Structure 1
Amino acid sequence: MALRYKIDIMAELKKNGYTSTRIREEKLIGQSYLQQIRHNELVSWKTIDTLCRLLNCQVGDLVEYVAEDTPEAAE
């Protein structure tokens, strides 16, 4: 995948006072999305929006584009 997280999202949330329990109790992010984040899988734009709000950051602070090595790219 060409997009990946630049930071450990769960660690940043915890550092900002958002534990898994708090996130679940306040219904900030769904449990399935938390699992995706834990497994470094990308989530929906709505969830990215929520993460940016909770962490007071920009999308570019969370994800980055990394070119994949393909035979076409070498030509």
Structure 2
Amino acid sequence: MLKYRIDILEALKEKGYTSYKIRKDKLIGEAQLTKIRSGDIASKETLNTICRLLDCQPGDILEYINSDQE
């Protein structure tokens, strides 16, 4: 299962991208912001945008957790 390593919205905020600015500049759609807030993995396009804004690699923000399937 994939999960976020960091608080995406907090990291964006530290770089100067508030939720208001993200919506106003149409950087990330509201549906994707809602997914991020709930811990769901955003779309590939949104992850591309996040990596660009944070100047990072996907592995810096995502991690794979092996869930035991019984």
Given residue 33 of structure 1, which amino acid in structure 2 is its aligned partner? Answer: Q
The equivalent residue for 1:32 is: 31
- What's the CA shift for 1:3? 0.5
Q: Percent identity?
A: 49
Calculate the aligned-residue CA RMSD, in Å.
0.6
The equivalent residue for 2:2 is: 3
- What's the CA shift for 1:56? 0.4
The equivalent residue for 2:69 is: 70
SS in 2 for 1:61: helix
Given residue 53 of structure 1, which amino acid in structure 2 is its aligned partner? Answer: R
- What's the CA shift for 1:69? 1.3
> Post-superposition, which runs of at least 4 consecutive aligned residues in structure 1 deviate over 2 A?
none
- Larger-Rg structure: 1
Which structure 1 residue ranges, 5 or more long, are not aligned?
Answer: none
TM-score (norm 1): 0.90
SS in 2 for 1:18: coil
Which structure 2 residue ranges, 5 or more long, are not aligned?
Answer: none
The equivalent residue for 1:47 is: 46
**Aligned positions, number:** 70
Distance 2:68 2:5 in 1: 19
Given residue 55 of structure 2, which amino acid in structure 1 is its aligned partner? Answer: N
